Amino acid sequence: MKDNAWNRLGAYLNETQILGSIQNTLYWDQNTIMPREGATWRADQLTYLAKILHERTSSNVLSDLINSAETELKGIDGIDESQFNSKMKNIDLLKKELDRQSRIDPLLVEHLARAKSRGYESWQQAKENSDYKIFLPFFKELIKLRIEEAKQISNKLSPWETLAQPYEPDISKEWLFKIFNPIKEAIPLMLKNAKQFKKNNWDLDNNSQKYLSEKLLDVFGRNKNLVAVAESPHPFSITLGPKDFRVTTRIVKGEPFSSFLATAHEWGHSVYEQGLPSQSHQWFAWPLGQATSMAIHESQSLFWENRIVKSRAFSESFFKFFIEKGCPLKNHEELWKSMNTFKAGLNRVEADELSYGLHILIRTELEIKLIEGNLDPADLPHEWNNMYEKLLGIKPPNDRLGCLQDVHWSEGAFGYFPSYLLGHLISAQITSKLEEDLGLIDNLIANQSYKLIIDWLKKNVHSYGRSLNSMELVKDLTNAELSPNYFISYLEKKIRLLN
């Protein structure tokens, strides 16, 4: 490799990414097969890695490498304009992240890493025992540390907005609620108008559910040499290397679609990661080779879960596999309706597309209150239950089914939740453009044209990496600003079909 400033910067970033992938591997192991007694040592490992990674991403060495690469780049005569622009975008993104990391006290980074590990372990125990008090002291510590982190990073944004930036760059509370308020107004009325179907009480054994999830991935075109599947308390997708993609799911007793739909959801995340830019100067360590935001990420997972798997056409094509494993439903129409029961429930992950948005609105409003000082963490269960009763008309009977159901806050991931609902809106708007280009999605599914769909998504969404932020990408692709109207129209149409 030629020894120039650009390649020296690339080598440094590559080493940093190797450390980051080791951190991700330990995280994946912690969530899948690590024995419970390994938690203390794992916390030490992750704390040490967080310390080293912060040193590398905030160092004067990195700053000098970035400046040298920029000077060299600007001094090259006759460089292709598109190559120059993409490299300068990489430089700009690196500078922005360097500035953010440089503002954080290294000691705070260590405290946060340890608090995340302890928070996750205490959350697991609290959830198993349905006892929020077990989690509360660790949660308080996480909130305190995250608020301090926000203060160190920025005095221009509110603390919550600062913490949300890594998930959704350029987000503001004002913009967010402008987008969300029409959803908050429309969903309760649509829930009332949705016909209530009697839920069939049936289940499938664990092996049958695993088989159906594996078959789903095979139908979608999963490469087993690239993608591995495991079980975890909370489903997630993670990338451990340029050719190492992990997906996890979970089996919930009495919920025969839970693992199936979670697998479809996490597959969407993984497909996005697999489709990110692969140019040598971008992948795997450069910013442009990374996902642009969690809202775009969620739009891809929700697309596969809801627009594909919950469609009538998919139920028709996949019904034979459910019958093979003992599903008692009579036909594909019953399967489709069973996967699309619109009814307010307590659990976000198991929620239907219609009520899902209210789950996100509740979490978004609560975490803003937690971070910006208006809500004492000790009062969270009470406030959570009140909001569920107000917006969804149901009240959690215990902490496990209430405020302990999600893993996010146990890891200090404040600012993530809005990405789910933004993902729904983006998915609806992108799907409209996909159908304009390729034809009705039901026809594509009926023909099992999944490769065609993936290729379109890769070309029009995945391949941009971080060259565009989420709102720029949506406008560039659909020629319109992000709007809740596409999602609302989609839900209204689906209710009419189901009714």
Percent with pLDDT over 70 in the chain? 98
First to last CA, the chain: 63
- Contact, 498 vs 194, CB < 8 A? yes
| pLDDT tens digit sequence for 468-481 | 999 999 999 999 99
Angle at alpha carbon of residue 487, lines to 481 and 488, rounded to 5° = 115
Percent of the chain with pLDDT over 90: 91
Tell me what the pLDDT averaged over the chain comes to. 94
Residue 284, pLDDT > 80, answer no
- Full DSSP string of 243-284: TEEEEEE---TT-TTHHHHHHHHHHHHHHHHHTS---TTTTT
Q: In the predicted model, is pLDDT for residue 69 greater than 60?
A: yes
Digit-coded pLDDT (tens) for 367-397:
999 999 789 999 999 999 999 999 999 999 9
When pLDDT is averaged across residues 330-358 and rounded to a whole number, the result is: 92
Digit-coded pLDDT (tens) for 206-240: 999 999 999 999 999 999 999 999 999 889 999 99
Q: Between vectors from CA 268 to CA 264 and to CA 271, what angle results, nearest 5°?
A: 130
Model confidence, pTM? 0.94
Q: What is the pLDDT of residue 219?
A: 97
- pLDDT tens string 330-341: 999 999 999 998
The 10s digit of each residue's pLDDT in 419-452 is 999 999 999 999 999 999 999 999 999 999 999 9
What is the maximum span of the chain, computed from C-alpha positions, in angstroms? 70
Per-residue confidence (pLDDT) for residue 199, from 0 to 100: 73
| 1 confidence band (pLDDT: 50, 70, 90) | low
> Does the structure show a pLDDT above 90 at 98?
yes
pLDDT mean over 445-465: 97
Q: Residue 281: what pLDDT?
A: 46
pLDDT at residue 283, rounded to an integer = 57
Residue 110 dihedral angles phi and psi, to the nearest 5°: -65, -45
- 307 within 8 A of 320, measured Cβ to Cβ: no
**Is the predicted pLDDT of residue 321 greater than 90, yes or no?**
yes
**Cβ–Cβ under 8 Å, residues 219 and 445:** no
Average pLDDT over residues 339-364: 92
Calculate mean pLDDT across residues 127-154.
97
24/30 Cα distance (integer angstroms):
10
pLDDT at 280 over 80: no
